[in-house]
Amino acid sequence: MTGDHVPSTFLDPTYFRPFANLEANDAMQVVMSSPNVTDPGGNEATITYKVGVAGSQAAGNYATNVVYVAVPGY
């Protein structure tokens, strides 16, 4: 993940981390945040998704949902 106001845990564009699993009660993770929400400079981030498939995983169609929650500031 790269861009404006991304968490410092994304050390560089090759760093990845797993999504929260809501069925396992994992907490949602912040992917972009700023104390200056009125910044007129435009805030932008790029997310790259990476899939890891075990060789033992059966062939087939798989799906998942990614949910983003945008909280406005005034």
**Does the pLDDT value for residue 1 go beyond 70?**
no
Q: Enter the DSSP assignment of 18.
A: P
pLDDT-based confidence at residue 25 (cuts at 50, 70, 90): very high
Q: Give the model confidence (pLDDT) of 35-68 as tens digits.
A: 776 666 667 777 888 888 888 999 999 888 888 8
Domain extents for the chain? 1-51+64-74
**pLDDT averaged over the chain?**
79
**The residue type at 53:** V
Q: What is the pTM of this model?
A: 0.58
Residue 30's closest CA among 52, 51, 1?
Answer: 1
